[in-house]
């Protein structure tokens, strides 16, 4: 039985299911569970890691989203590949999934600029013409992958104290920084997704073909009182990114 790390020493702020998923990925990559073999059953994994069946299922879902395993009823969870597929798949079943995606990818800040918004942006930002917002351009990539999976243009309120410094020093998710530094709480995220053809600048930054297929995800992050905290417009290369949603009948 493969050994596994405990929780001592504040091992990580990551959710337990993610830590279990990461450890299983390591074992698969090392050949402990070779391609074609079955992983331990859910009950065996529960006992091995001292976790609930819900946590095991969430960890296995992460492996399926990475293209590493396939689960079949009465058969088990079969290993399909030793390394994750190049195509990045983002679960979008909850606010937690969207925020976790930001935690799991590497962020590079390209540009930070104050802008006075016109009529079109004022409508999108639920504000007034002439309002000042901070426009932040970033690239995201999966760990260990040189090819970006996302080019994002984000707007945040420029009146927040010291916001430019906070954004310039950004190392993790902008939304997490807003909650941590300014004491706000994101309680609702609205998301719309459209198929688009990549423009020249977008294709160049994303290292893919101009006019190639892309996905544009527009997200609005709200506080409980309905205040818009952040507008993010993310462009993804269609050949290496997909959204994954699981719908369960209640």
DSSP state string for the chain: ------STTT--SS-HHHHHHHHHHHHHHTTSS-TTPBPPPHHHHHHHHT--HHHHHHHHHHHHHTTSEEEETTTEEEE--SS--SSEEEE-SSHHHHHHHHHHSEEEEEEEEEEE--HHHHHHTTS-TT-EEEEEEEEEE-TT-SSEEEEEEEEEETTSTTHHHHHHT--S-HHHHHHHHH-----EEEEEEEEEEPPHHHHHHHTS-TT-EEEEEEEEEE-TTS-EEEEEEEEEETTSEEEE------
Query: Is the pLDDT assigned to residue 20 strictly greater than 90?
Result: yes
Residues forming a β-bridge with 227: none
pLDDT of residue 92: 58
pLDDT of residue 8: 40
pLDDT digits (tens, 9 = 90+) for 188-240: 989 899 999 999 999 999 988 888 889 999 999 999 999 999 999 999 988 77
> Span 153-170, mean pLDDT?
92
pLDDT of residue 225: 92
Residue 167 pLDDT class (50, 70, 90 cuts)? very high
> Span 22-39, mean pLDDT?
93
Determine the Cα–Cα distance for residues 55 and 59; give it in Å rounded to an integer: 6
Query: Is the pLDDT assigned to residue 21 strictly greater than 80?
Result: yes
pLDDT of residue 7: 45
> Which residues are CB-contacts of 134 (< 8 A; sequence separation ≥ 6)?
112, 113, 114, 115, 155, 156, 157, 158, 163, 164, 167
| Percent of residues, the chain, with pLDDT higher than 90 | 52
pLDDT of residue 118: 94
At residue 6, φ and ψ (nearest 5 deg) are: -90, -170
pLDDT of residue 50: 95
Residue 11 pLDDT class (50, 70, 90 cuts)? very low
Residue 182 pLDDT class (50, 70, 90 cuts)? very high
pLDDT digits (tens, 9 = 90+) for 59-116: 998 888 777 888 888 889 999 888 766 555 555 566 666 665 556 678 899 999 999 9
pLDDT digits (tens, 9 = 90+) for 136-158: 999 988 776 777 889 999 999 89
pTM metric for this prediction: 0.62
Determine the Cα–Cα distance for residues 250 and 52; give it in Å rounded to an integer: 21
| Percent of residues, the chain, with pLDDT higher than 70 | 82
31-35, 106-110, 239-243: which range is least confident on average?
239-243
């Amino acid at each position: 039985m493969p050994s596994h790390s405990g929780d001592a020493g504040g091992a990580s702020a990551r959710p337990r299911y993610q830590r279990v998923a990461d450890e299983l990925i390591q074992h698969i990559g090392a050949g402990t569970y070779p391609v074609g073999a079955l992983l331990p059953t859910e009950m065996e994994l529960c006992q091995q890691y001292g976790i609930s069946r819900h946590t095991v299922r969430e960890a296995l879902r992460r492996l399926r989203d990475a293209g590493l395993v396939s689960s079949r009823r009465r058969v088990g969870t079969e290993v399909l590949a030793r390394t994750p597929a190049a195509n990045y798949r983002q679960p979008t079943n909850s606010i937690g999934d969207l925020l976790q995606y930001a935690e799991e990818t590497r962020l590079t800040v390209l540009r930070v600029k104050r802008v006075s918004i016109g009529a079109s942006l004022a409508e999108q930002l639920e504000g007034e013409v002439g309002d000042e917002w901070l426009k932040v351009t970033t690239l995201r990539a999966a760990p260990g992958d040189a090819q970006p999976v996302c080019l994002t243009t984000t707007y945040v309120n420029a009146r927040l104290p010291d916001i430019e410094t906070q954004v310039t020093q950004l190392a993790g998710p902008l939304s997490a920084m807003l909650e941590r530094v300014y004491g706000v709480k994101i309680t609702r995220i609205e998301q719309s997704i459209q198929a688009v053809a990549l423009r020249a600048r977008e294709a160049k930054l994303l290292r893919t073909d101009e006019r190639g297929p892309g996905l544009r995800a527009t997200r609005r992050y709200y506080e409980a009182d309905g205040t818009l905290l952040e507008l993010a417009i993310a462009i993804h290369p269609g050949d290496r990114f997909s959204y994954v949603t699981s719908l369960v009948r209640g």
